[in-house]
Amino acid sequence: MRGKYRTARAAVVAGIAVPALLLTAAPAGFAAANAPADASAAAKPRPPELPTHIEGGAWPTSHVQGVTVDTKRGHVYWSFTQMLVKTDLDGNVIGTVEGLTGHLGDIDLNDRDGRVYGSLEYKAEEAFYIAVFDVDRIDRVGMNAETDGVMTAVHLNEVVEDFTADMNGDGVFDGDTANTPDHRYGCSGIDGVSFGPEFGKRGGAQKLMVAYGVYSNTERTDNDHQVVLQYDVRDWRRYERPLSQADPHRSGPKRHGGKFFAYTGNTTYGVQNLQYDPYTRNWIMAVYDGVKEGFPNYSFFTVDASKKPVRGEIRGQAKPEKGKLLTLRDAGLNDPATGLRGWEFHGNYGIDALGDGRYYVAEGRAVTEDGVKKQEGEVYLYRWTGETPAPFARVGD
């Protein structure tokens, strides 16, 4: 899950204090509402030592898009948009899954089956999947996503319906472009994924939450929400199929388990990294900044996981519409004009909550090696502080 101490997967959180073993002093003005979800956290044994920095290598792909860490087995999984990379905690490459022609986005580890799940888009084919990687079988560099038996895929029809929606009724779908009234809620596909409890519940079966990408379009008002679909993946093996990218299959669940809306203002391509954090009981949404006037355009948001969704109006729609609304955590920066709360932090390349107030946060950059243009990825270890504008501090600084 981009949230669990399980084997970690992360994100960003909302106002909460950290146990004494992680913070030398709590930020001024902290209230009870900003305490860790587990009040006994300070009495727990000291967490294990972890590297403060891990390198994911440089690859001839697009930038690092997601990261999930298995602290129990000592593995890190990296999404580089066209490939999945597996390393150990020292950054030594164990294997790669290559040959993807679509966009592999955010990834998360499922504690229940030990596999890594990630968003996978083929917009030209109007096909959107959750890719499922059997990571125990990744043991060498250059494994093929189609032919080496390490990846299956489950199709998400709900995403297709919203992506292809003819919103202006002209009978023409305008395709992969933001400059159109088409795409319901501004849906550009999917990106953020994470395992966690249902919204408003403390425990129970872990559900897969899948967040929409949302086009940046300042001319419309119906694209100001983050949209999240919920799925129970315990029976998904009946849908899983190897993926032929030349002939994409459509095997997947007919229905989702819930569709939810978080009002944040329009962002550029929606939730890049989604993460459940059990330490703060937040659902974290790391985004690329929006550009629409009238909004604070924060770079990430925290949804209060303890609050049940409330049925209400989905603002800005051409026709009045109601849906299940999520509540942003009452912490962080506050924009009086809109009432929106949020933070400023660089979690959009990947973030994994380790469950104890520590987080691995990804960074990436373009590099050139031997004349070949590549993208480099790495993670740094952070701790939660709850301060504004950024609620994290790098461990060791």
How is 76-100 classified by DSSP, letter by letter? EEEE-SS-EEEEETT--EEEEEE--
Residues 282-311 have a mean pLDDT of 97
Give the pair of three-digit tokens for residue 124.
């030209």
DSSP state, residue 49? P
The per-residue pLDDT for 397 is 78
pTM score of the predicted model: 0.90
Give the pair of three-digit tokens for residue 366.
């373009």
Residue 389 CA to residue 387 CA, distance in Å, equals 6
The per-residue pLDDT for 1 is 43
Give the pair of three-digit tokens for residue 274.
């989604």
Type of residue numbered 149: G
Q: In percent, how much of the chain has pLDDT > 90? A: 87
Q: Residue 35 pLDDT > 80, yes or no? A: no
**What is the pLDDT confidence band of residue 25, given thresholds at 50, 70 and 90?**
very low
**Closest Cα to residue 291, out of 187, 218, 376, 378?**
218
Residues 156-174 have a mean pLDDT of 96
| Mean pLDDT for the chain overall | 90
Residues 71-84 have a mean pLDDT of 97
Give the pair of three-digit tokens for residue 373.
């243009």
Q: Residue 244 pLDDT > 60, yes or no? A: yes
Q: How many residues does this entry show for the chain?
A: 397
Q: Residue 7 pLDDT > 50, yes or no? A: no
Q: Residue 180 pLDDT > 90, yes or no? A: yes
CB of 151 within 8 A of CB of 131? yes
Tens of pLDDT, residues 201-220: 988 999 999 999 999 999 99
User: Which of 11-15, 105-109, 176-180, 356-360 is least confident?
Assistant: 11-15
**What is the pLDDT confidence band of residue 91, given thresholds at 50, 70 and 90?**
very high
Beta-carbon neighbour count of residue 293 at 10 Å? Answer: 8
The per-residue pLDDT for 80 is 98
The per-residue pLDDT for 34 is 52
The per-residue pLDDT for 47 is 66
Residue 37 CA from chain centroid, whole number: 21
CB of 334 within 8 A of CB of 380? no
CB of 182 within 8 A of CB of 165? yes
Could you list the beta-strand ranges (E) of 197-325.
Answer: 207-214, 225-231, 258-263, 268-277, 282-288, 300-304, 310-313, 322-325
The C-alpha R_g of the chain, in whole angstroms, comes to 20
CB of 183 within 8 A of CB of 207? no
**What is the pLDDT confidence band of residue 36, given thresholds at 50, 70 and 90?**
low
Residues 293-312 have a mean pLDDT of 97
Residues 254-263 have a mean pLDDT of 97
Q: Residue 342 pLDDT > 50, yes or no? A: yes
For β-strands 225-231 and 151-155, DSSP reports them as unpaired
